[in-house]
Amino acid sequence: MKKISVRTSDGQEFELEENLAMESATIKTSLDAFSRDDIILLPNVNSWEMVKIIEFFTKVQELETKFGVKFMEKKEGRFLEAFQAEFDKDLSDDNLYCLLWTVDYLGIEVLLENLCHLMAERTKNKTVESCRNLFGVQHDYTPEEEAEIREDYSWAFEGPEIEE
């Protein structure tokens, strides 16, 4: 299997198996444009993110070999949940957010969907303020407008599950 070399923003080099590299639409485009012997530069990707991406595909291959199921075809169920529980446990919210951006940039569809699911789990019990912080969203309501929403949906702001 042909190996594709990539270099991340912090100068680290990785050798990816060709079929893994082709999962990234961005890398695939580069490969089509340039020679496969050249190193592909990924200035927007950090090495820790690349490690995580490789980890994902290694795990997928492991599970596929073990269960004999094509990962892409079996998206629901315990198969996916068990995998996801492991994948993001050492990632902070901000890490996950960065990884999400990177995977979107690289155009890796299958991992993107998983990360969106993980991000949704992280986000669902957040307060409005921590949500704004995480997504870097600018607060653009007037105090009156915000107060009105908080009053109309007061029940949505209460509950033991909402993180402080």
Using CB under 8 A as the criterion, what x/- string covers residues 59-78 for binding other proteins? Answer: -----------------xxx
- Binding residue (CB under 8 A) for other proteins from 68, 136, 143, 160: 136
Using CB under 8 A as the criterion, what x/- string covers residues 17-56 for binding other proteins? Answer: ----------------------------------------
Segment 77 to 106, residues that bind other proteins, using CB under 8 A:
77-78, 81, 97, 100-101, 104
Q: How far is the CB of 95 from other proteins (least distance, A)?
A: 14
The set of residues, in sequence order, having a beta carbon less than 8 Å from that of 16 and lying 6+ positions away, is 3, 4, 5, 6, 27, 54
The set of residues, in sequence order, having a beta carbon less than 8 Å from that of 43 and lying 6+ positions away, is 9
Crossing angle of the two packed helices 109-123 and 78-87, in degrees rounded to 10: 80
**Phi and psi at residue 15, to the nearest 5°:** -110, 120
Using CB under 8 A as the criterion, what x/- string covers residues 102-131 for binding other proteins? Answer: --x-------xx--xx-xx--xxxx-x--x
Q: Is the sign of the CA dihedral 43, 45, 47, 53 positive or negative?
A: negative
The strand order across the sheet containing 3-8 reads: 13-17, 3-8, 40-42
Please give the residue ranges that form the binding site for other proteins (CB under 8 A): 76-78, 81, 97, 100-101, 104, 112-113, 116-117, 119-120, 123-126, 128, 131-132, 135-141, 146, 149-150, 152-153, 155-157, 159
